[in-house]
Amino acid sequence: MFTSSIKATKPIQITSKVEINKEYGQLSQKLLNVSNKFISFTVNKQSISINKAILMSDVLKAVQKSNPKDTQAIAHWKEQERVVQLSATFNQAFDAVIDAFISSNQDMKFRLSLQEKTNIFNEIKGNLQFGEYQFNKNAAQKSLEHVLRNNSRIKEITTLLIQQNKISDTKSVRYVTNYIIEAINNELCQTLFPELPLREISVLATELTSLRLFDKSMDQMKYDHWKAHYKLPSSGKTIML
């Protein structure tokens, strides 16, 4: 997933972390371009653009439509969405490190109980210093992302890209769809909430969770591997929580 680090007009190479079928190999040239006005997706030299202002208008209309009796529906939604975006960013980084840790220790039959995972979550969250920002552990699905998945313009663009590149297997279709939705979500989120430190939260959540799990005392080789993998500080500090 691309976080708020996407820079305007700078193309970003997309790489898939999912297991892919042969048909997905057709997507050899995959670029996302972001400008002040447009979000463009180019697949095999076929480019399709979305006007960000029009898309933002679609989102706000959908929010108002879902709460027609609330005259302040958009303001209330934005207040709630701030918490959702912050929480989802933290949760995704946390879960990714937890999953990687469990996967890397299968030979040790390592397991984390729900209570242990919750305890680590609360410990890590307590080490994040972002003023009055709140984190909700259950905010896994971004509400903005939900609105985008039901947007007719995005559905049309996604369908067109899939058809043009003759993609038919379910896994590839799902990957392309999810990538487009996530990229647009992050771009619109920057427009809606430019003050939110989403990238910083993602980086710190990854660092704190990694240091919490891959402690030097567990296994020096594994610790060194993950310190390099997650680009952790070279100071050798170990956070004791």
Domains located in the chain, CATH noted: 14-230 (1.10.4120.20)
pLDDT for 153-200, tens place per residue? 889 888 888 887 787 888 878 888 887 888 888 888 888 888 887 877
pLDDT for 11-60, tens place per residue? 333 333 333 334 444 444 444 566 678 888 776 666 778 888 888 889 88
User: pLDDT > 70: what percent of the chain?
Assistant: 60
Instruction: For residue 33, report the phi and psi dihedrals to the nearest 5 degrees.
Output: -120, 135
pLDDT for 96-140, tens place per residue? 887 777 776 665 545 666 777 777 777 777 666 555 555 555 554
